[in-house]
Amino acid sequence: MRTLDYLLDPVLGPLYWPGVLAGLAIAVLCGALSGLVVVKRLAFIGQGISHAAFGGIGLAAILGLTARLTADGLADAPLGGVPQFLVVASFCLASGLLVGVLADRGATREDTAIGIVLVASMALGAILLSWAGTGLAWESFLFGTLYNVPLGEAVVAMLMAPALLAVLWAIRRPLVFWAFDEPVAATLGVRTGTMKMTLLVLLALATVVAMRLAGVVLATAMLVLPGAVALRLSSRMWAVLGVSVGVGLLGVLAGVVLSFELDLAPGPAIVAVLATLFAGVRLLGPRQDRG
């Protein structure tokens, strides 16, 4: 089995294990939020925030924090790219909060707010990148691949996953109440605005980490497909969250195996597994979808 040959090889194993561990961490990060994303019809949010990162990359470029291509190859970004990551993460976080502000009290629909922030951020990024000059190496930030993940970044993702779960546990009751019946929750004293902003912040953080390590497509898929599968199998929110995390982990593990066995890129392989799982439960499973 090629998967075990690669992962257990003393030379190749250390190259691949950080990506596998990062993928599992991303499955927990995004899977824990995926059910809420589908229930609250925020499937577009991952796409919007991940593309808003383009504006953050433009800002980092203006500040001189983006790596530049040299005649000898790719030059490292300052301090290993940590300042650039912090700038992009902060920009994505601000974009998520801006979506919440624009959609506050129903003045603007969430999908409209996401679209506005997405196109404005991409336009800002294009302008700032043109001002910063040519030769910038920014594509790898948006289109990362699991098997190129450094061990340090994998560790960061693995630390963020339990931190996010701890936040969800701390606000579990008002969050679930708000997710399933926002008008009634508001009348009973739940701070619905705080719940919305908290969810958007968590989504922004999960999206930027997943996008940086695995790319835009996989980040978006991990925020939508596990929750969509779980909601076909259960209508109980905490069961949905548990199943969603499990589906995400299964998708990553099966996708990694497929990528090794069939010589495929890991991201598309994981997305294909998750899409197949959704097709299977839609055709064969009970209908519990509340999204």
Q: Half-sphere exposure of residue 2, counting CA atoms within 13 Å on the CB side?
A: 9
Q: Residue 69: which pLDDT band, with cuts at 50, 70 and 90?
A: low
pLDDT for res 289: 47
Q: Are 21 and 217 in contact (CB under 8 A)?
A: no
Between the CA atoms of 102, 106, 110 and 112, what dihedral angle is there, to the nearest 10 degrees?
-70
Domains of the chain: 2-284 (1.10.3470.10)
pLDDT for res 258: 93
Higher pLDDT, 288 or 110: 110
User: Which residues 6+ apart lie within 8 Å of 220 measured at CB?
Assistant: 46, 47, 50
Cα distance between residue 127 and residue 59, in whole Å: 10
pLDDT in tens, 106-143: 667 777 888 888 889 889 988 988 888 766 766 666 66
pLDDT for res 56: 86
Angle at 56 between CA 220 and CA 75, to 5 degrees: 100
Cα distance between residue 68 and residue 16, in whole Å: 26
User: Which residues 6+ apart lie within 8 Å of 275 measured at CB?
Assistant: 221, 225
Q: Are 32 and 249 in contact (CB under 8 A)?
A: no
Average pLDDT, the chain: 83
